[in-house]
């Protein structure tokens, strides 16, 4: 961390407020600081291996930093390390531009080897850790080291990645001395839009793995690259706060799982995907207000289609308040439905429901959640309300439905590209300038019928 200071996590103003209001509260200063540290470190984004800086000042910047590192450590900074420095600075600057208090999650140990195509800057985590330590020593980076239990004996302690963040000194170097701006952050020209993850490892990560191209992946890559080029030419502004309007930086990838083209396949890309829905409504595209539409009960409709049932063609009722499911609040049924479609056994379903109940504080608003084995009653009511798809519960069908979501999204972006309509994808939701809402709605409905074989409702 460079120096032991609480100022990384709590401001002087927050400390002063705590001192003034602590009378009558049980929380100690130590507990207060621990809580603020946890909240601060949670405000982080993953290190993006595809980010680079593209400006004529980048070479002089890297030269300047390399000399400083060599002077401080006695070690020469070679060409491969300089490429990693560019990627590191792009990540730090990108996250600073989103919010100065945002951290970047990084590994400090070498991970399972990944395909070169997924690592265009040649990042070696152990090398990056050494660079980071040197930059901490120079006052350019704040570092909070993570925790790692190699033996995995401490079940209660989760492995946590380290966090890094640019200091004011580094940002001033970027902007004042080398005249960098947000517009200089971009993506490596060799960034790969089709990504395959392997099965989950003991540490619960899913490593990126190689795959053999197929005619379909070749076509999809061509489409994704055309879409990424198009969407990066649009001005997408998202509101981090009323006074902070940030240009988004979007590179969309299609991510498959478990080494299978039949699992996963959703589209990911853009900070807008991390925004709550109420904030997404304030996005502007090319200065125009937007509309967000979404496929109602998407995975549920797909599950019924798999059972040969066109739900929306045969029912007027709310899918999540049908028969015995109406014994429970709609949001809880929706969450439970998703859990039941994604887990592979009932024990995992119970564990996930208990976790969701604690996170959502169901017990405070739900009488059933205070009863013994309430989760068994909830599961029973779901099976009773939806007997046609009960056999699909706890069979991990969610990954299959994610693939269908991805297929729908590809059809949508292809049609929108041809019509010169900018559209952002968010799994079963789409964001577009208000004037194109009717057009995109029609495209989504048509795509859903083509992929799933039944009708959907778009709201």
One digit per residue, the tens of pLDDT, for the chain of length 459 reads 444 466 788 777 777 777 777 655 667 777 878 888 888 999 999 999 999 999 899 999 999 999 999 999 999 999 999 999 999 999 999 999 999 999 999 999 887 889 999 999 999 999 999 999 999 999 999 999 987 555 555 555 456 889 999 999 999 999 999 999 999 999 999 999 999 999 988 877 889 999 999 999 999 999 999 999 999 999 999 887 666 788 999 999 999 999 999 999 999 999 999 999 999 999 999 999 999 999 999 999 999 999 999 999 999 889 999 999 998 989 999 999 999 999 999 999 999 998 988 887 676 566 665 677 889 999 999 999 999 999 999 999 999 999 999 999 999 999 999 999 999 999 999 999 999 999 999 999 999 999 999 999 999
* Cross-strand partners of 239: 245
**Domain membership flag for residue 18:** no
For residues 437 and 424, the answer to whether their CB atoms sit within 8 Å is: no
Residues 61, 236: Cα–Cα separation, whole Å: 28
The whole domain housing 56 covers: 43-190
The count of domains in the chain is 1
**Domain membership flag for residue 219:** no
Residues 414, 423: Cα–Cα separation, whole Å: 10
Q: Within 10 Å of residue 223's Cβ, how many Cβ atoms? A: 17
**Domain membership flag for residue 52:** yes
**Domain membership flag for residue 168:** yes
Give the pLDDT score at 22. 63
DSSP string of 22-79, one letter each residue: -TT----HHHHHHHHHHHHHHSEEE--TTEEE-STTHHHHHHHHHHHHHHHHS----H
Total number of residues shown for the chain:
459
**Domain membership flag for residue 211:** no
**Domain membership flag for residue 147:** yes
Whole-prediction pTM: 0.90
Give the pLDDT score at 366. 63
Give the pLDDT score at 17. 75
Give the pLDDT score at 353. 92
Give the pLDDT score at 24. 54
6: three-class secondary structure by DSSP:
helix
**Domain membership flag for residue 105:** yes
**Domain membership flag for residue 33:** no
For residues 406 and 267, the answer to whether their CB atoms sit within 8 Å is: yes
Give the pLDDT score at 3. 45
Give the pLDDT score at 121. 97
Residues 191, 194: Cα–Cα separation, whole Å: 9
């Amino acid at each position: 961390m460079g120096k032991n200071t609480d100022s990384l996590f709590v401001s002087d103003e927050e400390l002063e407020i705590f001192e003034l209001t602590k009378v009558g509260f049980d929380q100690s200063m130590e507990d207060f600081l621990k809580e603020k540290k946890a909240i601060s470190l949670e405000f982080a984004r993953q290190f993006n291996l595809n980010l680079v800086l593209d400006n004529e000042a980048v070479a002089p910047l890297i030269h300047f930093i390399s000399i400083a590192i060599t002077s401080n450590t006695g070690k020469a900074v070679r060409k491969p390390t300089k490429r990693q420095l560019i990627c590191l600075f792009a990540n730090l600057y990108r996250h600073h531009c989103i919010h100065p208090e945002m951290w970047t999650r990084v590994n400090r140990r070498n991970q399972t080897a990944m395909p070169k195509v997924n690592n265009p800057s040649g990042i070696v985590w152990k090398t990056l850790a050494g660079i980071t330590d040197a930059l901490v020593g120079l006052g350019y980076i704040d570092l909070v080291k993570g925790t790692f239990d190699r033996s995995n004996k401490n079940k209660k302690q989760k492995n946590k990645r380290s966090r890094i963040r640019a200091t004011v000194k580094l940002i001033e170097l970027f902007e004042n001395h080398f005249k960098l701006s947000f517009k200089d952050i971009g993506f490596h020209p060799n960034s790969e839009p089709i990504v395959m993850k392997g099965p989950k490892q003991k540490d619960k990560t899913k490593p990126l793995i190689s795959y053999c191209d197929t005619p379909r992946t070749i076509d999809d890559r061509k489409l994704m690259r055309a879409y990424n080029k198009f969407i990066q030419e649009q001005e997408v502004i998202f509101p981090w706060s009323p006074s902070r309007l940030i240009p988004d930086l979007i590179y969309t990838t299609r991510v498959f799982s478990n080494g299978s083209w039949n699992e996963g396949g959703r589209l990911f890309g853009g900070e807008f995907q991390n925004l709550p829905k109420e904030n997404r409504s304030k996005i502007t595209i090319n200065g125009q207000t937007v509309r967000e539409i979404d496929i109602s009960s998407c995975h549920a409709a797909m599950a019924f289609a798999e059972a040969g049932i066109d739900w929306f063609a045969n029912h007027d009722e709310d899918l999540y308040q049908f028969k015995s499911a109406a014994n429970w609040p709609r949001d809880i049924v929706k969450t439970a439905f998703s859990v039941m479609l994604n887990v592979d056994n009932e024990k995992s379903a119970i564990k996930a429901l208990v976790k969701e109940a604690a996170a959502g504080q169901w017990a405070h608003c739900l009488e059933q959640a205070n009863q013994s084995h309430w989760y068994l009653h909830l599961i029973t009511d779901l099976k009773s309300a939806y007997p046609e798809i009960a056999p699909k519960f706890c069979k991990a069908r969610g990954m299959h439905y994610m693939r269908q979501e991805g297929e729908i999204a590809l059809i949508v972006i292809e049609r929108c590209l041809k019509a010169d309509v900018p559209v952002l994808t968010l799994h079963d939701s789409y964001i577009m300038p208000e004037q194109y809402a009717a057009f995109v709605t029609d495209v989504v409905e048509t795509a859903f019928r083509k992929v799933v074989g039944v009708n959907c409702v778009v709201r």
